[in-house]
Chain A
Amino acid sequence: MAHATSSAGLPALELGQAPGRIDPVLLLAGLAWAGAAAVTLLWPNATDDWAFTEELAYLAAAAAAVLALAGLLPRAPGLARLRRAGPWFLVLGIGLAVWEIATAKLDLLPRPFFAPPQELLTVYIDDWPRLVECVLASLGLLVTGYLLGAITGFVTGIGLGWSRLVGYWVHPVLRLIGPLPPVAWLPVAFFTFPSSWAASVFLIALATFVPVTILTWSGVASVNSAYYDIARTLGAKNRFLVLKVAVPAAMPHVYVGLFMGMAASFAVLVVAEMMGVKAGLGWYLQWALGWAAYGNMYAALLITALMCSSLVTLLFKVRDRHLAWQKGMLKW
């Protein structure tokens, strides 16, 4: 084969990769976390007696122990990824200590807007059932709206790329509505739909629909016309040209649309939940703000970020499997 597989990877800057030796970066990271644990436990809090301060210290100490152990056992299986993340653990340990000192220990940052780390821990321990409920509510809303928008957008995009009739009727509508930010529909949607949930599904679907439609359309429109010539001389009919030539050839574009649609759907989700829906992470953020419960807000923000990031990762995984035939794809 002409194509050589490159397995060289990054040569010089591989940190702590010497096999069979102690990993100094992981040991340092363990030390940083042990330091954060010591600061948390031994340095008295400035004003408040924050709950779960001791527990936070023990958690940091446990992390320190795990990192130090991993640093001493470099040949243990499954530790390669941990070793690669060594510098990150080091920085995170230092960051935790700085955060703890700046908030709980010295009160350097204005309260109540900046919560110390143990406050987040408190929220996760005390309020986890509600947070789980909110994550599930948000996921339900998001997935329903996103799938609806993605599927209709995909079908519409193919229609636009393939049929003059669809193009005649849909193109002007798309030109008018496409550039409008989906949240502009919010007031209209909330009184035209029977429930705020249905209205939010519609808005998320719309936010996803527009980029998926446009990118699918452009994907179909930019298919190499020789692909059609080949298929036609081999006896292909229209159905085959659409499903087996246009669609697979357009898939790289379609995925770009799916990513853009996903980003837009996150924005609409949070806004819709803040404005009308009585559940979900957006609602939780708004509710926490109303009570000036900034710890709850940071906790929910972190979970929202993790949820969105996981969904993007999932979409990347699906794409990488589906488009494995492409060369040189962006890694997430």
Chain B
Amino acid sequence: MVSAALAQAALPPGMALSVERVSHGFVLQDELLPVLQDIALDIEPGEFVALLGPSGCGKSTLLRLIAGLEPPRGGRILADGAPITGPDPSRVVVFQDPTLYPWRTVWDNVALGLEARGILKSQRHRVDQALELVGLARFASALPHQLSGGMAQRAALARALVNDPRLLILDEPLGKLDSLTRLTMQGELVSLWQRAGFTALMVTHDIEEALFLATRVIVFSDRPARIVEELRVDRPYPRHRDDPELVRLRQRILERLGLGGSW
């Protein structure tokens, strides 16, 4: 899957992203509610960046801008040096809700991107591979309502990965899963990312999750969101949750979020 993308364009498998002084807001009752303020962020190809911050601070909005679902009100975002003007299958989003299409089988849901681009007929094997990758090969013909929450989220991940994204945008993808499934899928995400080499950008509320997965953790302030802290997590994978360095970083993030004494 990765080699196919490489053959198409002589680019590294991961996308370089630069967010240049981006501001954004929503109009609520004729008043502009600022959501993002002067966000500047450079992401190297192949990085795994986690965005942490208080609930409702605008992290998800930033992801929507990067996905190209909305244009920013100020500043610009470059993907591999070119400004983002709209959605593109090289930048795929996995949302908190799996939002599988209930009328399609798991296989047809995963095939969605290929079908939308009109290349499904020649690329059917990629769907089977993606299902294999997330361990859902046996459920190809199941309908979404027959899946558990974890399985549905795996299917949503396969639906993203089948497109060989160069940037995988993860909007709290594990937020609604039970804690055991969540731990398992964190491990799976790391190994998928290591194997495929894409750039990953993930919003999460969970500090441990961010430290377990990411090479860099960006901490946001309350709305309007500003970047208040950037932490490199220079630990080898697979990481151990009790690693003293990770524990130290967690303490620092908690302090940054104003929760220093609570743990």
Give A contacts to B, CB under 8 Å: 1-3, 224, 226-227, 229-237, 240, 244-245, 248-249, 251, 323, 325-327
B166 to A: closest C-beta gap in Å: 13
Interface pair B101/A235, CB less than 8 Å apart: no
A226: contacting residue among B86, B97, B151, CB under 8 A: B97
Q: Mark B82-103, 1 if CB is under 8 A from A, else 0.
A: 0000111101110101010111
A220 to B: closest C-beta gap in Å: 14
Judge if B197 is at the interface, Cβ distance under 8 Å. no
Q: Considering the chains assembled together, what is the distance between the CA atoms of A249 and B103 in angstroms?
A: 8
B261 to A: closest C-beta gap in Å: 38
- Which chain B residue shows the least CB distance to A237? B116
B137 to A: closest C-beta gap in Å: 14
Q: List, sorted by A's number, 20 A–B pairs whose CB atoms are closer than 8 Å.
A: A1-B146, A1-B147, A2-B151, A226-B99, A227-B99, A231-B116, A232-B69, A232-B87, A233-B87, A233-B89, A234-B89, A234-B163, A235-B88, A236-B116, A237-B116, A245-B101, A249-B103, A325-B102, A325-B143, A325-B144
Interface pair B145/A325, CB less than 8 Å apart: yes
Interface pair B142/A1, CB less than 8 Å apart: yes
Scoring A1, A230, A237, A326 by chain B CB atoms within 10 A of each residue's CB, the highest score goes to A230
Interface pair A234/B92, CB less than 8 Å apart: yes
Q: Considering the chains assembled together, what is the distance between the CA atoms of A249 and B145 in angstroms?
A: 15
Q: Considering the chains assembled together, what is the distance between the CA atoms of A233 and B171 in angstroms?
A: 13
Query: Chain B contacts of A235 at CB under 8 A?
Result: 87-89, 113, 116-117, 163
- Which chain B residue shows the least CB distance to A247? B103
Interface pair A231/B112, CB less than 8 Å apart: yes
Interface size in chain B (residues, C-beta < 8 A):
34
Judge if B74 is at the interface, Cβ distance under 8 Å. no
Judge if B71 is at the interface, Cβ distance under 8 Å. no
Query: Chain A contacts of B159 at CB under 8 A?
Result: 230, 234
Interface pair B103/A234, CB less than 8 Å apart: no
Interface pair A251/B87, CB less than 8 Å apart: no
- Which chain A residue shows the least CB distance to B113? A234
Interface pair A3/B145, CB less than 8 Å apart: yes
- Which chain A residue shows the least CB distance to B162? A234
Judge if B188 is at the interface, Cβ distance under 8 Å. no
Interface pair A229/B92, CB less than 8 Å apart: no
Q: Considering the chains assembled together, what is the distance between the CA atoms of A224 and B151 in angstroms?
A: 21
- Which chain A residue shows the least CB distance to B147? A2
Scoring B113, B142, B144 by chain A CB atoms within 10 A of each residue's CB, the highest score goes to B113
A318 to B: closest C-beta gap in Å: 15
With A233-B67, A235-B89 known as contacts, the answer to whether A248 contacts B146 (CB < 8 A) is: no
With A234-B113, A235-B88, A235-B113 known as contacts, the answer to whether A229 contacts B142 (CB < 8 A) is: no
Q: Considering the chains assembled together, what is the distance between the CA atoms of A233 and B156 in angstroms?
A: 13
Judge if B148 is at the interface, Cβ distance under 8 Å. yes
With A244-B115, A325-B145 known as contacts, the answer to whether A233 contacts B92 (CB < 8 A) is: yes
Query: Chain A contacts of B25 at CB under 8 A?
Result: none
Judge if B68 is at the interface, Cβ distance under 8 Å. yes
Interface pair B101/A227, CB less than 8 Å apart: yes
Q: Considering the chains assembled together, what is the distance between the CA atoms of A1 and B106 in angstroms?
A: 13
- Which chain B residue shows the least CB distance to A228? B69
Interface pair B69/A229, CB less than 8 Å apart: yes
Interface pair A251/B113, CB less than 8 Å apart: no
B170 to A: closest C-beta gap in Å: 12
Closest 4 CB pairs of A and B: A234-B113, A236-B116, A235-B89, A2-B148
B65 to A: closest C-beta gap in Å: 12
B103: contacting residue among A224, A226, A229, A248, CB under 8 A: A248
Q: Considering the chains assembled together, what is the distance between the CA atoms of A235 and B160 in angstroms?
A: 11
- Which chain A residue shows the least CB distance to B156? A230
- Which chain B residue shows the least CB distance to A326? B102
Query: Chain A contacts of B113 at CB under 8 A?
Result: 234-235
Q: Considering the chains assembled together, what is the distance between the CA atoms of A140 and B169 in angstroms?
A: 56
Q: Mark B160-177, 1 if CB is under 8 A from A, else 0.
A: 000100000000000000
